Amino acid sequence: MLPEKILNVLKSILPQTKGPISLHEPCFAGNEWKYVKECLDTGWVSSVGKFVDRFENMLAEYTGAKRAVAMVNGTAALYIALKYAGVSPNDEVLLPALTFVATANAVSYCQAVPHFVDSEENTLGMAPYKLFDYLKKHVEIRKSGCYNPKTGRRIKAVIPMHTFGHPVDLDPLFEVCQSFHLEMVEDAAESVGSFYKKKHTGNWGKLSLFSFNGNKIITTGGGGAIITNDESLAEMAKHLTTTAKVPHKWEFYHDQHGYNFRMPNINAAMGCAQLEQLPIFLEKKRCLAEHYRHAFKDIDGIDFFTEPDFAQSNYWLNTLLLNETSAHEKDTVLEITNNHGIQTRPSWTLMHKLPMYQDCPRMDLSVAENLETRLINIPSSARLGEPYAEA
């Protein structure tokens, strides 16, 4: 049976341990203790300190963006990015149905309305050509922008999400944005270390964001960041997320409604140590992905998902796609692997199936709905790419 074959392949690659093997866990093998201890020793543990500045500079340098603004988490970063992309209450924002709920939630925080878009199988992300055809048939272009004639609402922005770290096909999607007067805000939460046509993800949108949650390729415990190539937007985002406090030696004066969204120094300290090790993490994760690809290539009924030709992925979460004829065995695969201490999981429930989003506008979602029935994530931690996994 296919479930047993999958289990046996995973057992042959993954280490034999007493406890369960997690889907993705952090690796602390660098200067984390040293940098965090410095925060504790000096008392600089809160939202200002040298590690915040250093982390932002390191992130900007690594991604090739002009600026980075560290924040408490990726959802807050997406919310602020949408605000500065011009998303207003009652606007619609295009985003994939196949995404983590935070993408849709951030739109809702803006009092805007998610408008769900289909995916394509070769990226697992937003389908740009299908989206173009859909918009051509279903929207109106007016002097003030792109409108949905069915709802009367303006469609302001597009949020491509780089699913499991695999870059979306960004060039045609950028053309869609230009054709229909839409702002792009990249949800690059999962794609630190991923490149589209040799350029790091996050550099196509007006603003983009990353997540550094405990299960991401690098972590600050909890945390996120905005990156942008617009210096003025970066300054405004930094000001707004620091309670909009006007800098002064002792006075507390705030010039607008602000947010306490800044990343604490102690979290940024961990992030600096993690960024220093990112090349090692990426090498190990790509090694693990190659082992999976080789081991699953002769198993009928299943495919190991590999990066698109135009991309270099961080392989944040490795992914199996059951064939159409094997899709009915997905739950059995999940049950047997988890019962044997190997954590696997299905895709997220599609956004339009959640109670708070089921009445939102959407295009045909047949590809995303098909992927949902066939997709399984398997253990992906960087440490699993160590030499012992090569046997």
CA distance 329 to 187: 31
Q: Of 232, 254, 275, at which residue does a domain stop?
A: 275
Model confidence pLDDT, tens digit, residues 182-221: 999 999 999 999 999 999 999 999 999 999 999 999 999 9
Alpha-carbon separation of residue 196 from 63, 204, 380 (angstroms):
11, 10, 21
Instruction: Please give the radius of gyration of the chain, using alpha carbons only, rounded to the nearest integer.
Output: 21
Domain that holds residue 94: 32-275
- CATH code: domain of residue 136: 3.40.640.10
Both 259 and 341 in one domain: the answer is: no
Both 138 and 283 in one domain: the answer is: no
pLDDT at position 55, please? 98
Model confidence pLDDT, tens digit, residues 322-365: 999 999 999 999 999 999 999 999 999 999 999 999 999 999 99
- How much is the average pLDDT of 30-58? 95
User: DSSP string spanning 226-257?
Assistant: EEES-HHHHHHHHHHTBTTBPP-SS---B-S-
Both 213 and 292 in one domain: the answer is: no
- Measured in whole angstroms, how far is the alpha carbon of residue 70 from the centre of its chain? 16
Q: How confident is the model at residue 386 (pLDDT cuts 50, 70, 90)?
A: confident
Percent of the chain with pLDDT over 70: 99
Q: How confident is the model at residue 387 (pLDDT cuts 50, 70, 90)?
A: low
Q: Of 241, 275, 309, at which residue does a domain stop?
A: 275
Whether residue 391 is predicted with pLDDT greater than 80 in this model: the reply is no
153 Cβ contact partners less than 8 Å away, ≥ 6 residues apart? 90, 91, 92, 113, 147
Q: How confident is the model at residue 388 (pLDDT cuts 50, 70, 90)?
A: very low
pLDDT at position 390, please? 42
Amino acid of residue 167: P
- How much is the average pLDDT of 104-127? 98
Q: 330 exposed, middle or buried (CB, 10 Å; 0-12, 13-18, 19+)? A: buried
Q: Of 275, 290, 320, at which residue does a domain stop?
A: 275
8 Cβ contact partners less than 8 Å away, ≥ 6 residues apart? none
CA distance 84 to 236: 9
Model confidence pLDDT, tens digit, residues 140-189: 999 999 999 999 999 999 999 999 999 999 999 999 999 999 999 999 99
pLDDT at position 324, please? 94
pLDDT at position 18, please? 79
Whether residue 246 is predicted with pLDDT greater than 70 in this model: the reply is yes
**Which residues are bridge partners to 362 per DSSP?**
116
Q: How many domains does the chain have?
A: 2
User: DSSP string spanning 171-207?
Assistant: HHHHHHHHHTT-EEEEE-TT-TT-EETTEETTSSSSE
pTM for the model: 0.95
Both 260 and 366 in one domain: the answer is: no
Model confidence pLDDT, tens digit, residues 249-299: 899 999 999 999 999 999 999 999 999 999 999 999 999 999 999 999 999
**Which residues are bridge partners to 294 per DSSP?**
none
CA distance 219 to 168: 23
Q: How many CA atoms lie within 13 A of 198 on its CB side?
A: 0
Both 38 and 99 in one domain: the answer is: yes
The larger pLDDT score, comparing residue 16 to residue 356, is at 356
Both 74 and 161 in one domain: the answer is: yes
Whether residue 384 is predicted with pLDDT greater than 60 in this model: the reply is yes
User: DSSP string spanning 205-225?
Assistant: SSEEEEE--TTSSS--SS-EE
Both 295 and 265 in one domain: the answer is: no
CB atoms inside a 10 Å sphere around CB 29: 13
Both 246 and 350 in one domain: the answer is: no
Both 239 and 377 in one domain: the answer is: no
Both 159 and 172 in one domain: the answer is: yes
Percent of the chain with pLDDT over 90: 95
Tokens describing residue 8: 């046996």
Walk across the sheet containing 375-378 and list its strands: 302-304, 318-322, 375-378, 345-346
pLDDT at position 48, please? 83
Q: 294 exposed, middle or buried (CB, 10 Å; 0-12, 13-18, 19+)? A: exposed
pLDDT at position 58, please? 98
CA distance 1 to 5: 6
Both 63 and 212 in one domain: the answer is: yes
Both 191 and 104 in one domain: the answer is: yes
Q: Report whether 110 contacts 89 (CB < 8 A).
A: yes
- CATH code: domain of residue 378: 3.90.1150.10
- How much is the average pLDDT of 87-98? 98
